[in-house]
């Protein structure tokens, strides 16, 4: 029988409980692991983390906690072969796509180990310098950041079972805050295995890391004042979380990362045949096909000057036609499957919905799948849609199809392109491709108000740019409005979510006593 993914609460693996749900191989449809129903002992587990976990973590310095992150990264690296196998079996991803998740996780941990080490022996962070409050200059106010006295509950989406955990856990643990992770059921196996490996390594103190798989029932009810919750997933679930009584009553801080209709803009200077045009086409194809388009940052709306519309459509279609789709166990397959048959159905329905106001410019479904049964496998082939009269299309700005799907939209001039980008009502990322740096900088400024990140690619950075959809730990991840209003990563900025800011007022003589165990919050 397939493995049962037991919960780990109060430093103990919990017995099976509740109604079992099977995790399936999205290529073969076979059951590969099981999770349980509503978790038992949630209150005991949350209390244990809040008390034992937090006090052990917060007895350490930032430097000691940073060293633990480095050790966790090494444990994960030493088990990476198993993670690739699980990713293939549970997420249906090729090795390259699994790497985005798995190597992204260890890279982010390594990054926080490094910048955390710079905080050394500190136990408190100073936010700016002291402000003078009295005429004799003696009475002053110093803002400090201290770790929250609660737990960090993470409720994650199905598309990043590895990175999705560690990009949140790295800044939380560095801050001294215990973590309780609830992975999305469909792909919980990889998260569970990583947590089990880290628990077995003994690196973390008891209570620092817990996991609940399967049903989310009761998790939000267990939240108390000073806890935080960080959610990644759909806007519908986000709305449930925001309005949950425990969150409202206890002022629980909530970080939300939700749907996003990201756009990418090709500059008018970048005609077919230019380097920026080629970079744009390559990026769009990469964004549509990486992880089968199941990235919250993927390009959903491709904004191109009206007179290049056909050339972009042809160039993208030619590249998409070369993307082989099917069972990632076959070395000839370039793009694997979606995570589940439910997601496959949702993507097909989404394409049909968008096609009610868009033209299909490329339809990959005429291609045969490699080593996969189209009646069982969750393999979606790429689809490029197009709308020439972008002002009269509404769904494309509103409906996120979470798969290998993007829509070309033609624009008249810069103002028109910007107004189309803004119709996403707040996105995680927009990218701009051009050789005209001054124009790109101007567009970047204009897009900043509705985007968490603006990725500008000129030919000089064509080879070194980090990719429209790749989230780098040094840059923030999150976006306003529809994208959820959250903010993660961004170097030490990420620690802010797991700390309380307090104004300490007193004599400068008293405040000076903070210095030996404090570091500047250098952001």
Is residue 258 a contact point for ligand NAP (CB under 6 A)?
A: yes
Is residue 105 a contact point for ligand NAP (CB under 6 A)?
A: no
Do the Cβ atoms of 181 and 163 come closer than 8 Å?
A: no
Do the Cβ atoms of 294 and 498 come closer than 8 Å?
A: no
Tell the smallest beta-carbon distance from residue 219 to ligand NAP (Å): 6
Within 120-159, the residues that bind ligand NAP by CB under 6 A are 155-159
Alpha-carbon distance values, 338 to 320, 364, 404 (Å): 17, 15, 9
**Which residues in 186-196 are b (16+ Cβ under 10 Å) and which e?**
bbbbbbbbbbb
Strand pairing report for 179-182 and 209-211: parallel
Could you say which of 216, 282, 348, 365 contacts ligand NAP (CB under 6 A)? 216
Could you say which of 97, 167, 259, 283 contacts ligand NAP (CB under 6 A)? 259
Could you say which of 25, 97, 400, 446 contacts ligand NAP (CB under 6 A)? 400
| Residue 5 or 66 having the CB closest to ligand NAP | 5
| Residue 220 or 335 having the CB closest to ligand NAP | 220
| Residue 151 or 157 having the CB closest to ligand NAP | 157
End-to-end CA distance of the chain: 50
Could you say which of 97, 167, 227, 257 contacts ligand NAP (CB under 6 A)? 257
Is residue 232 a contact point for ligand NAP (CB under 6 A)?
A: yes
Is residue 184 a contact point for ligand NAP (CB under 6 A)?
A: yes
Is residue 402 a contact point for ligand NAP (CB under 6 A)?
A: yes
Annotated active-site positions, please? 257, 296
Alpha-carbon distance values, 179 to 29, 211, 487 (Å): 32, 8, 18
Is residue 185 a contact point for ligand NAP (CB under 6 A)?
A: yes
Give 235's Cβ-side CA count (13 Å radius): 15
- What span, in angstroms and rounded, lies between the C-alpha atoms of 70 and 75? 9
Do the Cβ atoms of 265 and 431 come closer than 8 Å?
A: yes
Total residues interacting with ligand NAP, rule: CB under 6 A: 25
Is residue 210 a contact point for ligand NAP (CB under 6 A)?
A: no
Q: Is the dihedral of CA 60, 63, 66, 72 positive or negative?
A: negative
- What span, in angstroms and rounded, lies between the C-alpha atoms of 340 and 522? 43
Identify the residue whose tokens are 């990486």. 290
Q: Which two tokens stand for residue 35?
A: 């999770």
Tell the smallest beta-carbon distance from residue 232 to ligand NAP (Å): 5
Q: How far is CA 466 from the centre of its chain?
A: 16
Do the Cβ atoms of 144 and 502 come closer than 8 Å?
A: yes
Q: Which stretch binds ligand NAP (CB under 6 A): 11-19, 127-135, 213-221, 389-397?
A: 213-221
Using CB positions, name the residue nearest to ligand NAP: 233
Q: Which stretch binds ligand NAP (CB under 6 A): 26-34, 199-207, 258-266, 353-361?
A: 258-266
Q: Which stretch binds ligand NAP (CB under 6 A): 103-111, 257-265, 411-419, 437-445?
A: 257-265
Query: Nearest to residue 50, comparing CAs of 178, 165, 230, 169?
Result: 178
Q: Which stretch binds ligand NAP (CB under 6 A): 70-78, 251-259, 388-396, 494-502?
A: 251-259
Binding site for ligand NAP (CB under 6 A): 155-159, 182, 184-185, 216, 219-220, 232-234, 237, 240, 257-260, 296, 400, 402, 428, 484
């Amino acid at each position: 029988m397939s493995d049962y993914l037991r919960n780990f609460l109060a430093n103990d693996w919990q017995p099976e409980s509740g109604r079992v749900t099977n995790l399936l191989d999205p290529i073969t449809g076979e059951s590969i692991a099981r999770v349980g129903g509503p978790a038992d002992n949630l209150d005991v587990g949350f209390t244990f983390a809040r008390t034992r976990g937090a006090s052990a973590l917060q007895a350490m310095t930032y430097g000691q906690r940073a060293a633990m992150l480095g050790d966790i990264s090494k444990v994960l690296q030493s088990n990476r072969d198993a993670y690739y196998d699980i990713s293939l079996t549970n997420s249906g991803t090729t090795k390259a796509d699994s790497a985005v998740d798995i190597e992204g996780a260890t890279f982010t941990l390594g990054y926080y180990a490094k910048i955390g080490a710079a905080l050394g022996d500190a136990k408190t962070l100073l936010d700016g310098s002291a402000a003078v409050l009295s005429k004799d200059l003696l009475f002053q106010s110093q803002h400090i950041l201290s770790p929250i006295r609660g737990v960090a509950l993470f409720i994650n989406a199905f598309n990043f079972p590895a990175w999705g955990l560690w990009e949140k856990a790295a800044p939380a643990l560095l801050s001294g805050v215990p973590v309780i992770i609830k992975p999305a059921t469909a792909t919980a196996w990889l998260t569970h295995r990583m947590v089990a490996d880290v628990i077995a390594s003994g690196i973390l103190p008891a209570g620092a890391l817990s996991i609940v798989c399967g049903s989310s029932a009761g998790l939000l009810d267990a939240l108390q004042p000073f806890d935080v919750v960080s959610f990644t997933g759909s806007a519908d679930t986000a709305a449930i979380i925001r309005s949950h009584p425990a969150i409202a009553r206890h002022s629980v801080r909530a970080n939300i990362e939700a749907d996003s209709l990201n756009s990418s803009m090709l500059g008018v200077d970048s005609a077919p045949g230019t380097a920026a045009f080629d970079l744009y086409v390559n990026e769009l194809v990469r964004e549509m096909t990486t992880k089968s388009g199941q990235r919250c940052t993927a390009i959903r709306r491709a904004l191109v000057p009206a007179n290049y519309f056909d050339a972009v459509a042809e160039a993208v279609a030619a590249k998409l036609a070369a993307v082989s789709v099917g069972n990632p166990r076959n070395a000839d397959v370039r793009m694997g499957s979606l995570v589940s048959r439910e997601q496959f159905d949702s993507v097909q329905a989404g394409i049909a919905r968008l096609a009610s106001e868009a033209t299909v410019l490329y339809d990959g479904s005429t291609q045969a799948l490699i080593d996969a049964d189209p009646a069982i496998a969750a393999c979606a082939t790429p689809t490029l849609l197009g709308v020439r009269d972008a002002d009269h299309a509404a769904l494309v700005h509103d409906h996120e199809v979470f798969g290998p799907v993007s829509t070309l939209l033609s624009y008249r001039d810069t103002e028109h392109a910007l107004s189309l980008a803004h119709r996403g009502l707040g996105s995680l990322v927009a990218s701009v491709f051009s050789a005209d740096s001054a124009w790109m900088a101007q567009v970047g400024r204009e897009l900043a108000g509705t985007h968490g990140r603006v990725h500008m690619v000129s030919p000089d950075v064509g080879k070194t740019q980090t990719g429209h959809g790749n989230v780098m730990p040094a840059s923030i991840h999150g976006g306003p409005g529809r994208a959820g209003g959250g903010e993660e990563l961004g170097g030490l900025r990420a620690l802010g979510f797991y700390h309380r800011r307090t104004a300490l007022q007193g004599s400068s003589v008293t405040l000076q006593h903070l210095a030996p165990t404090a570091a500047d919050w250098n952001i």
